[in-house]
Amino acid sequence: MNRESVQDYVDQSEAVFDASPQMDEANTKAAVLSDFLDLLDWEIPSNTQLEYSVEAFGQTYKVDYALILEETPVAFIEAKGVDTSLTTDHEEQLSSYMMNKNVTYGILTNGKQYRFFQRHVNASKVNVQKVGDTVLSNLPTRVTVLKAYTKDAIESGESGKILDRINELRKARQTLEAEKDTLATSITTLLSKNVSDSISSLVEPQSKEMIDRIVRDLEEEIISDKDSILFEKDSDSYTTSITESSQTVLELQSKEEEKKDRDSENNSPSDKSVGINQLDKSGKYIVSILDGGNEIAAVSNREQSQVMVDTTNILVDYYDLIAKLEPLPWVPSHAKAIINNKSEWDKAVPVYKKLADGNYIDTKLNKDGKKREIRRMADKCGLEVRFEGDW
């Protein structure tokens, strides 16, 4: 399984739903979810049983799909019609099935919404947790979660490792976000003590920026299908590479004089920002562009995709973004060409919109994906962005 195969499934399913938007459960299973089983490498009837009997709430119910290994169910898939929105009652129903049959993995879907579950056993306590919740169009960004429910992953025991790792990364991200200021202060104290007090004024903002980058990288790692990892397990402890930290120290020392120069100019915007005459915050989604902490431009629109295009045009026109990304296509992660000099990409199915300079930007991203790529492009130009409105 890879992003391309998942994208193919998404495209085929969307075409089916466009033709029959009120499809009931039986037709949803026949027209779409059979392909979903194929995507996960489960086959009817060799290792998948339909209408599997389960005792729950004092009655006998039928699970739509039971995924079987060695004559034992290892995962349940509960299906609803695309005309039925998923509810917490549906989640409780699937959780009850999993608990009663000691099934570790579960998926609840109506073809357009996908919710992923895992049963946990801690001492005498057993519970079912939701480990993922996404929509059809975003499945290509959830390949890691999907892989955990494939036949090979469950059979080999990799599923538990994949989902446990995702949970660990999420906890790490939440800790970094919640304790950002405290951690930045600790880093500042450590480096000031071991390097020089003279860099303390530069260390703290750099430390916060580094934490923000790690948070973004963690989010990318959680949703990615890469084999590389941010953390390596050694016995019961986790260590991170110190390469970036070492490089950061050297950069802090070399940039001390630059910092003094910037302070003397009272953090005034760079000359490149002179001439930008765009400060529109009237739309639903707003992106403000900042240079040295000063707002130099803002774009807005009722559509996220257009805001992404307009922001990129400013970076291209005033900050030579394309020169910083060349050679094109620019593929910051995986097989997704965010900026391309062609209107097509053979490794995926992008939704390209034309930029003012004639290049193209892929806007086929969810909200968080758009924000992530806008930040990346701004960072390439030495700028920051702030998201306002309904982001």
Alpha-carbon span 239 to 194, nearest angstrom: 21
**What pLDDT was estimated at residue 121?**
85
186 and 209 part of one domain: yes
Q: Are residues 51 and 139 in the same domain?
A: yes
Residues 232 and 341 in one domain: no
- Residue 58 in any domain: the answer is yes
Q: What predicted TM-score, i.e. pTM, was given to this entire model?
A: 0.53
Residues forming beta bridges with residue 136, ordered by sequence position? none
Task: State the total domains in the chain.
Answer: 3
Domain boundary among 99, 131, 161: 161
User: Which of 57 and 50 is assigned the larger pLDDT?
Assistant: 50
Looking from the CA of 211 toward its CB, the CA atoms found within 13 Å total 23
Q: To 10 degrees, the CA torsion angle through 14, 19, 20, 21?
A: 60
Q: What is the pLDDT of residue 272?
A: 53
The count of residues in the chain is 391
Residue that terminates a domain, selected from 264, 284, 314:
264
Name the helix (H) or strand (E) containing 312: helix 304-319
Q: Do 125 and 192 share a domain, yes or no? A: no
Stronger pLDDT, 255 or 38, i.e. the higher one: 38
Q: Same domain for 377 and 282?
A: yes
Shared domain check, 157 and 20: yes
pLDDT digits (tens, 9 = 90+) for 257-311: 454 455 544 444 455 554 566 888 988 999 999 998 888 999 999 889 999 999 9
Give percent above pLDDT 70 in the chain: 85
| 297 and 224 belong to one structural domain | no
Residues 374 and 243 in one domain: no
CB 269 within 8 A of CB 361: no
Closest Cα partner for 73 from 46, 108, 48? 48
Structure tokens at 270: 């760079």
Residue predicted with more confidence, 150 or 120: 150
Instruction: Please report whether residue 170 resides in a domain.
Output: no
| In the predicted structure, residue 50 carries a pLDDT above the cut 80 | yes
The reply to whether 166 falls in a domain is no
Highest mean pLDDT: which range of 25-34, 190-199, 299-308: 299-308
Q: 156 with 185, same domain?
A: no
Query: Does 153 share its domain with 186?
Result: no
- Residue 150 is assigned to a structural domain of this protein: yes
Q: Are residues 285 and 260 in the same domain?
A: no
Residues 217-239: pLDDT tens digits? 887 776 654 433 333 333 233 33
Q: Which of 126, 161, 196 is the last residue of a domain?
A: 161
Q: Span 130-144, mean pLDDT?
A: 89
Domain of residue 236 covers: 179-264
On whether both 215 and 330 belong to a single domain, the answer is: no
The CATH number linked to 151 is 3.90.1570.30
pLDDT at residue 76, as a whole number: 97
The 3-state secondary structure of 29-50 reads HHHHHHHHHHHCCCCCCCCEEE
